[in-house]
Amino acid sequence: MDPVNILCVKWGTKYGPEYVNKLHSMVQRNMSRPYRFVCLTDDETGIDPAIETFALPPIGIPEFDAATGWTRLHGWLKVTVFAVPLYDLTGPTLFLDVDIVITGALDEFFDPPGDFIVIKEWDKRDETGNTSVFRFTAGAHAALIADLAKSLDTVQRDYRNEQEFVTSWFSRQGKISYWPKSWCVSFKRHCMHRGIMGFFKPARIPEGAKVVVFHGKPNPPDAIIGRSGKWYRRVLPVDWVRELWR
């Protein structure tokens, strides 16, 4: 069986190297097929030497090549994973955000057919996906970068963030599909108990979940100690995050 790719991006100072190292460890415990684990980063300090690291690839757009990203909006540089070539990576590639907790086997993410498979954004009715977990073929989507380069100002005006542009682009190509709903869940929306029950019961893992996405606040280390990060949301300490995020 040919190896597949597991890919993540870390740049700037929002997430330290421990996020990459813990992600690598979680993947090791939840993948049975052969794979390469690769991190694209602007600073490999503290990242486990067992992890393959490459610099964020240049894509010919000055704002991105200078690692400033969406200069007027969000600064994430995940769109650089669509660079062609993407170093020596080819074939099926599963992108994972570094601030997730893996709760089940990942092998099945490589089974469904499709050009671009992503989480369906939970609070949107349109085609928007959440790019915390998506699969694509490395080196196969040069047109996305070309379209972004020739219309950067328009894109920045029309799209609130990077994932909206990426999922809209694949939707217009007729190449988007979505993971089964149970596979990727939101910590805030699906794991935490609603209303007053959140004051008495800690967050749980929904049945069938393979990945828990931490978007906004709290982050995994916050959930471990019961820190919400928001005055209006109570989070009790979550033992399963402590056990799995390592």
- Compute the distance between CA of residue 28 and CA of residue 230 in angstroms, rounded to an integer: 33
Q: 4-178: which CATH topology?
A: Spore Coat Polysaccharide Biosynthesis Protein SpsA; Chain A (3.90.550)
Distances in Å between the Cα of 142 and the Cα atoms of 39, 52, 60, 87 are 20, 23, 12, 14
pLDDT in tens, 6-50: 999 998 888 999 999 999 999 999 999 999 999 999 999 999 999
The Cα–Cα gap between 20 and 120 comes to: 24
CA 86 to chain centre: 17
Q: What percent of the chain has pLDDT over 90?
A: 74
Three-state secondary structure call for residue 198: helix
Q: Which residues contact 213 (CB under 8 A, 6 or more apart)?
A: 97, 100, 119, 130, 132, 133, 184, 185, 186, 187
Mean pLDDT of 84-95: 97
> What whole-number distance in Å separates Cα of residue 71 and Cα of residue 49?
32
> What burial class does residue 237 get, using C-beta atoms within 10 Å of its C-beta: 0-12 exposed, 13-18 middle, 19+ buried?
middle
Q: Is 196 helix (H, G, I), strand (E, B) or coil?
A: helix
pLDDT exceeds cutoff 70 at 157:
yes
Check: CB of residue 30 under 8 Å from CB of residue 102: yes
Q: Which long-range contacts (CB under 8 A, 24 or more apart) does 190-198 make?
A: 190/122, 192/233, 192/235, 198/233, 198/234, 198/235, 198/236
Give 76's pLDDT tier (boundaries 50, 70, 90): low
Coil vs helix vs strand at 202: coil
When pLDDT is cut at 50, 70 and 90, the band that residue 167 belongs to is very high
CB atoms within 10 A of CB 35: 20
Q: How confident is the model at residue 216 (pLDDT cuts 50, 70, 90)?
A: confident
Radius of gyration for the chain, computed over Cα atoms and rounded to the nearest angstrom = 18
Extents of the domains making up the chain: 4-178, 184-244
Model confidence pTM above 0.85: yes
